[in-house]
């Protein structure tokens, strides 16, 4: 069902410093900050030859990233994103197998302008999983 790894998301306490580190220290192709108010985050995508890294920073006091950074003040890996061909079919198959889809199960539009869903980390060895329709 899952396809290629779309990105690994890292929550960061300082978006500019993290972007600079990837650009200046690692020589990566770092995109501009992109506000995603529907998700409560500002993101920066780092493009690699085989995938992307997404830097996540809270956007507003109600950001879901705030709680993560309170527990992990230095930041850390927040989620893995995999591509699927049909997000509704993937959702239905996962729910039928007992996996929990976060929220009401309706896909939202993600940072790439495509439908996304998140799966409960307790169902996937402690890892928050995002599915993005390819």
- Angle at alpha carbon of residue 101, lines to 112 and 62, rounded to 5°: 65
Domains and CATH numbers, the chain: 5-133 (3.10.180.10)
Tell me: the pLDDT tens digits for 87-131? Answer: 999 999 999 999 999 999 999 999 999 999 999 999 999 999 999
Determine which one of 54, 61, 70, 130 is catalytic.
Answer: 130
Residue 76's pLDDT is: 97
Residue 131's pLDDT is: 98
C-alpha torsion angle, residues 29, 133, 34, 41 (rounded to 10): -120
Tell me: the pLDDT tens digits for 46-55? Answer: 999 999 999 9
- Nearest-angstrom CA–CA distance, 72 and 118: 20
Tell me: the pLDDT tens digits for 69-91? Answer: 999 999 999 999 999 999 999 99
Retrieve residue 48's tokens: 């690699």
Asked if 130 is an active-site residue, the reply is yes
Structure pTM?
A: 0.93
Q: In the 8-state DSSP scheme, what is residue 26?
A: T
Note whether 80 and 124 are within 8 A (CB).
no
């Amino acid at each position: 069902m899952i396809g290629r790894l779309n990105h690994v998301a890292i929550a960061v306490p300082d978006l500019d410093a993290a972007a600079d580190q990837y650009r200046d220290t690692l020589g990566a192709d770092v995109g501009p900050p992109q506000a995603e108010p529907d998700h409560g985050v500002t993101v920066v995508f780092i493009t690699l030859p085989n995938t992307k890294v997404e830097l996540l920073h809270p956007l507003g006091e109600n950001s879901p990233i705030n709680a993560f950074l309170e527990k992990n003040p230095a930041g850390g890996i927040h989620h893995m994103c995999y591509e699927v061909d049909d997000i509704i079919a993937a959702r239905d198959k996962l729910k039928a197998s007992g996996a929990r889809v976060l929220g009401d199960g309706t896909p939202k539009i993600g940072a790439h302008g495509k439908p996304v869903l998140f799966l409960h980390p307790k169902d996937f060895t402690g890892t928050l999983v995002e599915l993005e329709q390819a």
